[in-house]
Structure 1
Amino acid sequence: MSAATLPGEGSVSVRLWLDDGTIRRAEVATRRPRAVTALVGRKGDEAVQLAPLLFSLCGSAQGLAVARACEAALGIDATPHETARALLTDAEALDSHGWQAVVEWPARLGTPPRPAALRDLRAAVSAVMPALYPAKDGMRPGGGVLRPDRAALREALARLAGWLETTVFAGPPPRDADDLAHWAAGGGSDAARLAARLLSPDLAGWGGCGTSLLIERSPLRYAAALSGDPSFAATPRYKDAAALTGPLERQADHPLVVSVTERFGDGLARLFAARLADLAELPRRMEAAVADLRTAEPAAAATSGPGEGCGVAETARGRLAHWLRLDGDGRLADARMVAPTDWNFAADGPLARGLAGAVVRDRDDAVERARLLVAMLDPCVACGIEVHE
């Protein structure tokens, strides 16, 4: 199984066919109950409150994407709240990455997970919302009453950065491929030990998919795709092809990722370097955001009539988009979404392409390598793997 998911929320199934040390065929199927349909019939405020409860992971990003979709439909300008909102989703992304670092990554090393290590991280993450919105109303359409407490925010950021430095990096983050190799050899953390494994000659370039990066961020583009084709939510396409979203897409130009790519090409080492870069950049980006914060009031709707809109939000796993249509009473008449798992675990997406044609030693090796690639792409649902010879 992959990340922490609640039963019944869906799954990814991977079926591999081996022949003479090669994965001749890889089938990836995603079963994701469309919980978004539970939003239909709700008022906008209700839908925003319900969205985080429907999805066990990335609740803030889910609520924010729905809030932004409502704002687009109602003509609400919530621009003064965007810096604060970015802080909230960045904090959530750090929490998600942190879970991987102390639970999923140890599992890939065959060592016990350490969920207790998340206590300090989650305490710091939970301090961000009240330090921005004392009434904890920042995710409502139009935003809440934004009253930044910079002292509290900087204290939370110091705790977040300290947790990363101690628990994940055991020192400063690696800056390039040489630094990464030196850091990995030191074995000071689970992340470093996993890096040492992924930098081995037989794994570093394994699992390369050659899939385009999903650089599209415009809500209008996602609105056109989701509203125009109901099947887009289940089988999304970017420029008529599969695409990859997540840390690699965000950090493709980061010096660490560029250096690792030049040395090892596309594959597990590159994907892991991108995750490390994403982790290292989050506190820096959040610190810059704190400096830009200003007080703000809730924004009012320009219309109460029917309308439609799309909201986009970033998660640790990649880009999330919600589209909705409001009726004359301001209730959701239709709702659709496309999540990172829909992109990365599509039938012809990055996972399937990275597995097909890959060389393995035997059945057990195929399963473990596939699990490593799944962990790097990080689905938001459980993943099962079958091997046929």
Structure 2
Amino acid sequence: MKIQHAYEQAMFAGGKRTSLEEAHFSPNWEKLDLLQEKIKQLLKDRVYGVSPARWLDMESPAQLDAWMDRQQTVAACYLAKVRALGWEAVGSNETAALPVLDEARLHELMNENGFISAPTWDGRCRETSAFTRTDSALLQTLRTRHGNGLMPRLVARLTEVAQLMQWQPLAEAGTPGGGIEGTGVGQVQAARGLLTHGVMLDGEGRIERYRILAPTEWNFHPQGVVASSLAVLDGDREIVEKQARQLIHAIDPCIGYTLHVINPAPIYVTLSHHEYTRGEAPRRRQGHSLSRCGNDVHGGARGGRTD
């Protein structure tokens, strides 16, 4: 919380980013440079055991193994546990990455209820996450060996954070253009993936509709990457439940979830009012809270986070 407060103080005049009246974007680069050095030291002490830049020097799985064996940080011990269990490729499936989205087509789709609640692109479910937008020589080898399984996902998270400490920008979300009069769409790469906001104005220039399409809607689509990951799990109930939780946390929904594992019946993941099922057709649960990522926003409080 101290780092977040310091960041807001450095980025916004007045130190507030949530007030329309007081949030003036005015980055203080000197303060940001000092804050970055503090974060680098924190990451070195708590996560990597070495500087983020040195961690990025690893190019092979052999070097990654040596790092796991040498360091005692939480990250190193976690990856070493995944390796010891032989879970490197757990959950690997063929879900494709979300490409750069055509702006004009996205404008039209953002007005469709079905797209907001269960988005697809070119008729296919897509993934948008740190795994799909992060690259390195080490990740390329891990992807060849383990697909989009658990180990490459975890290493992608660590790689992205280390790259951010070098001030390397994330992949761009898209190129503006091709909009429809009276509408606007904004895209940004948030922590969990591509976050999209869409607005429609009425004839007098007032907001008629405001929609949010969060990365959770792509990744937790009823036939999306999480459902596909669960579909390939095999083993007894206890092992399957542990693997399912690790995969869900690695992909990271923006709100809470409930996991149900009933052998030999399917696995369920209840995320707000959606239900994702392994082994049978997904169905929507009734009576669940609508405080979820990616609904129309008509005012009032929203449960959960949108990044």
The answer as to 2:88 corresponding to 1:214 is no
Structure whose residues are more often helix by fraction: 1
Between the two proteins, the alignment pairs up a number of residues equal to: 247
Inter-partner Cα distance in structure 1 for 2:32 and 2:190: 20
Matching residue of 2:283: none
Matching residue of 1:375: 249
The answer as to 2:108 corresponding to 1:234 is no
The answer as to 2:61 corresponding to 1:152 is no
Inter-partner Cα distance in structure 1 for 2:261 and 2:155: 28
1:297-308 pair list within 5 angstroms: 307-308=182-183
Q: CA deviation at 1:150?
A: 2.0
Letter in 1 for 2:38: R
Matching residue of 1:76: none
Structure with bigger RCO (C-alpha 8 Å, 6+ apart): 1
Matching residue of 2:296: none
Inter-partner Cα distance in structure 2 for 1:185 and 1:283: 24
1:328-372 Cα shifts (integer Å, max 9, x gaps): 444321122211111111111011111213222x11111001001
Mean CA deviation greater in 350-359 or 366-375:
350-359
Inter-partner Cα distance in structure 2 for 1:218 and 1:154: 35
Q: CA deviation at 1:148?
A: 3.4
1:185-239 Cα shifts (integer Å, max 9, x gaps): 2342111111112224631111002100012255444322212x22101110022
Matching residue of 1:110: none
Q: CA deviation at 1:138?
A: 6.4
Q: Is the 8 A contact 1:324 1:334 kept in 2?
A: yes
SS at match of 2:13: coil
Q: Which runs of 5+ in 2 are unaligned?
A: 171-180, 265-307
The answer as to 2:238 corresponding to 1:364 is yes
The answer as to 2:235 corresponding to 1:353 is no
Letter in 2 for 1:169: Y
Inter-partner Cα distance in structure 2 for 1:169 and 1:187: 8
Q: Is the 8 A contact 2:130 2:191 kept in 1?
A: yes
Letter in 2 for 1:340: P
The answer as to 2:138 corresponding to 1:256 is yes
Picking from 76, 80, 83, the partner of 1:192 is 76
Inter-partner Cα distance in structure 1 for 2:83 and 2:146: 8
Inter-partner Cα distance in structure 2 for 1:371 and 1:163: 27
Inter-partner Cα distance in structure 1 for 2:113 and 2:34: 45
Question: Percent of aligned pairs with the same residue?
Answer: 26
1:217-366 pair list within 5 angstroms: 217=101, 219-227=103-111, 229-251=112-134, 253-285=135-167, 307-360=182-235, 362-366=236-240
Q: CA deviation at 1:139?
A: 7.5
SS at match of 2:257: strand
The answer as to 2:48 corresponding to 1:169 is yes
Q: TM-score, normalised by structure 2?
A: 0.73
Q: Which runs of 5+ in 1 are unaligned?
A: 1-121, 290-305
1:117-167 Cα shifts (integer Å, max 9, x gaps): xxxxx32232233323313476889x9755432211111111121111111
Mean CA deviation greater in 198-207 or 335-344:
198-207
Q: Is the 8 A contact 2:92 2:146 kept in 1?
A: no
Inter-partner Cα distance in structure 1 for 2:220 and 2:42: 31
Q: Is the 8 A contact 2:95 2:225 kept in 1?
A: yes
Letter in 1 for 2:45: T
Matching residue of 1:98: none
Matching residue of 2:89: 205
Specify whether residues 354 and 146 from structure 1 end up closer, same or farther in structure 2 by C-alpha distance, changes over 3 A only.
closer
SS at match of 1:263: helix
Matching residue of 2:6: 127
SS at match of 1:382: coil
Q: Is the 8 A contact 1:130 1:136 kept in 2?
A: yes
Letter in 2 for 1:183: W
Letter in 1 for 2:32: L
Matching residue of 1:385: 259
Matching residue of 2:282: none
Inter-partner Cα distance in structure 1 for 2:15 and 2:108: 32
Letter in 1 for 2:210: A
